[in-house]
Amino acid sequence: MEEKQLWTMDELVALTDEVQIDTVDFRGKTVEFQFCELTEKEEPKFTGVDDALPEEEKMALFQEIGTQRVMMMLGKANKKNPEGPSILKEHWELLPTTLRYAISNRIIGMQEEAAENFRD
């Protein structure tokens, strides 16, 4: 049986200060990017979704908050590591949508893996 590894509080706190570099494959080439975890006060502010809204509008709001969150994570890393593989806001808005989804899913996917570790 594999022994569980436990996080220390210092390690968890350090995650919000660490620049992480990752890659995604896109059309036969690799795209490198960097991001940082956010603390609660750095998270984009979100007032919630009115249940009376049509489903399409709800999904658009969720997508917008997700995009803001990823942009904040990329921006935080860019400030901490200006020489790293930066994606600036003006780049992000011009990138192919499929690439933006791949990068966002990679970042969010890592967070879901981390969340799984907390559930074990």
Q: What is the pLDDT of residues 31-75, one digit of tens each?
A: 999 999 999 999 888 777 777 888 888 788 878 888 899 999 999
Assigned domain for 44 exists: no
Residue 86 tokens, joined: 């930066």
Domain count, the chain: 1
Assigned domain for 34 exists: no
Of the listed ranges 28-42, 71-85, 105-119, the least confidently predicted one is 105-119
| Domain carrying residue 101 | 55-120
Assigned domain for 79 exists: yes
What CA–CA distance (Å, rounded) separates 35 from 104? Answer: 10
Assigned domain for 106 exists: yes
Assigned domain for 75 exists: yes
Assigned domain for 96 exists: yes
pTM for the full model? 0.79
Assigned domain for 11 exists: no
Torsion angle (degrees, nearest 10) of CA 80, 81, 86, 87:
0
Assigned domain for 10 exists: no
